[in-house]
Every structure is written in structure tokens, then in C-alpha cells.
A and B are shown apart, each in its own frame.
Chain A
Amino acid sequence: MQASRARLFKEYKDVQREKVADPDIQLVCDDANIFKWTALIKGPSETPYEGGVFQLAFAVPEQYPLQPPNVRFLTKIFHPNVHFKSGEICLDILKNAWSPAWTLQSVCRAIIALMAHPEPDSPLNCDSGNLLRSGDVRGFHSMARMYTRLAAMPKKG
């Protein structure tokens, strides 16, 4: 418990000091609870998520960093490895490949990398996975693009 707080506080200070500044990631700690964080990440360029801003919710366990944080998308995203309803993310480093050397910030970077490089073979979003697996890249892109416009971009007007 104490170790996780101390470590999160370190991460908090590093974020404040912009020691780990990344223009694509804005990581914010809940005012009242250091175990709750949210992040805004920019959709990577040359992907259907480009131009979108996606919100992630972190729930950090007391065993952190011995156990990974629980992360999910709050913003709707059409991606083979993200559950379309719950926002749950299928990413090995958040499960069995977790290592305490990851930080909340670097987890965000890993999620951005996942957005750019979907893994259609372990889909949480079957529709999206099937489109990619059947080779319908255009179909996948247009769906993903549509949801990026709908959910992750500021409304016009």
C-alpha cells in the first residue's frame, strides 16, 4: 500500500515536472485519489484515429507496480483489441507480460502503439477483428474513422 502510493507520487511529480513530457499524452491524477488517473491520448497519425483525442481511465491496484493498472478506454473506439462497449483493452503488458518497469505514462505510449498496430488475432471487438482478418482494410478503416469522428473529435459548429 505504502509502496504503491510512494511510487504513484513519484509518477505524479514526474508528470508535473514534465520530466516525461510527451505531446501526445496528457496524464491527470484524480484530486482526491492517487489510485485513479485519467489520460487523454492523441490518435496516432496515418491511422483512422488521427485527429481524435481518446480518454483512458486508470484504476491502479494497491499492489502496483507489482501488478498492472487496470486501463480502459472511456472514449468509444473501433479497434480489434478494445472491447467496444466496456473499453477494455487486450494488451499483453497489461496482463501477463506486465513488468514494474512500466509507468502510467509508458503504458499510454504502449496503448498508442497498439492503436497504430492492431492485433486482429486476439480480438475483443470481433467485428473489427473480422474485418481486418478477412483483409477488408478499407472496411475497417472507414468504420474506425467514423467512430473517431463521432466520439473522439470535437463537434463542429
Chain B
Amino acid sequence: MQKVFAISINCVSKMEQMQSIEININIGVELLRGNLNIEVFETVGLENHIDYEDEGQSLHEEHQRSRLNELLDMRNSENSSLAPLNIEELNLKSREVDLLVHELTYLHYNFKDQYSNEEYNAAQEKIISAKVNPDFRVKTIPYVLSPSTDEESETCAICLDEIKNGKNIGSLQCGHEYHINCIKRWLRVKDLCPKCKRQCLPF
């Protein structure tokens, strides 16, 4: 069974957050198919997570927490054999709440009907334990996609388009820069920097 490290990427905008969810969905599909064995969900980069307007931030958090509550209620009532979980006990950071909500929601809407209850529940539990189990949090993944501060414009080696100043630029640890979308697509294939071949993930 292939080992995978699910990555959640620092998001610089809502748009990019959607794209990072897309990655998680793909991982979710593979997980359900039994092809993957999720070992780690990355939880670093909390400080960089999406900044909504001040007021929006607390509203957003409140909303996400109530959404997670609903999702956990659903889980608790569906899996009577499991110890019920509630959001207070989980003691999650807001970033983790975000990720859990997204992943469980997608799992629910996209896969519930296509898979057996057992498969669905197993995937759900994996996602939850990846988020709440401290053992899963030990390892962090030392690669960050972050908005560039570089003023120069150059070419993205993946699409050959210009890299313009702005927030769609992702730079890897080695310092090489690409469009965030471009590098995300490549890192799903291989965890190496296209330019210098340095490993971006520790496995």
C-alpha cells in the first residue's frame, strides 16, 4: 500500500484554499479506494492561514465550529459503536477546524453514496484521527508555499508563463518559485523541485 502524506498548504487566498481542498479530495478518493494509507496531516503553517477581515475571521470561525459540530453529531449518530466525539474535547486550532470541516464535508457530499457504509466510516475516522490524534501531529512537513516577496518577474518553469509579482506565486524551500497551481500539480506527481531536484517533502 502506498504511503501518503496529506499536505495542507498555506493558503493565501480563498481561491487557493479551494484548490488545496481539491488536493485533499483526491487524497480522499484514493483513501476510499484503499490505495492510500494516510499517515500524517500537516498542521504547520497555522499562523499563515487565511486572513479574513477582522470581523469576518471570528464569524468564519464560529461558522466553521458549528459546522464541525453538525458533522460530528452526524458521525456520532451514524457510528453508534464509536465513542462520541465533541468539538470541545477535541481542542482544535481554528486551522484544524477548517480542514476537518472541509474534508468531512467533501467526504460526505461526494462519497457517501458511492461507497459502503463501512468504507465511508473508516475514511471518516481516518480523517478525524489524523486531525485530532497527537501522534499524527508529530511530524511536520517542511515545505511551504508562500506568497513571494521577490519583485523580479521571471518564468515559471512548469507553464513557461511569466511569474508576476503577486499572490499566485509559490516558492519552495530551496527558493525556486513557480505559480502555486503549477507547483501543486507537479508536487502531486513527485516531491522534488523541478529546477534543482531537491526534495520538498521528507520521504
Contact = CB atoms under 8 A, between A and B. Distances in A.
Interface string B109-121: 0000000000000
A1 interface: no
Contacts of B182: 100
A66 B161 CA distance: 16
The main secondary structure of chain B at its interface with chain A is loop
Contacts of A6: 159, 161
A97 B158 CA distance: 15
A100 B161 contact: no
A101 interface: yes
B197 A99 contact: yes
Interface residues of B, number: 14
A7 B157 contact: no
Contacts of B186: 66, 100
Chain A interface size, under 10 / 10 to 19 / 20 to 34 / 35 or more:
10 to 19
Interface of A: 3, 6-7, 10-11, 14, 65-67, 97, 99-101, 103
Interface of B: 157-161, 182, 185-186, 189-190, 192, 194-195, 197
14 contacts: A3-B159, A3-B185, A6-B161, A7-B159, A7-B160, A10-B159, A10-B160, A66-B186, A67-B189, A99-B194, A99-B195, A100-B157, A100-B158, A103-B160
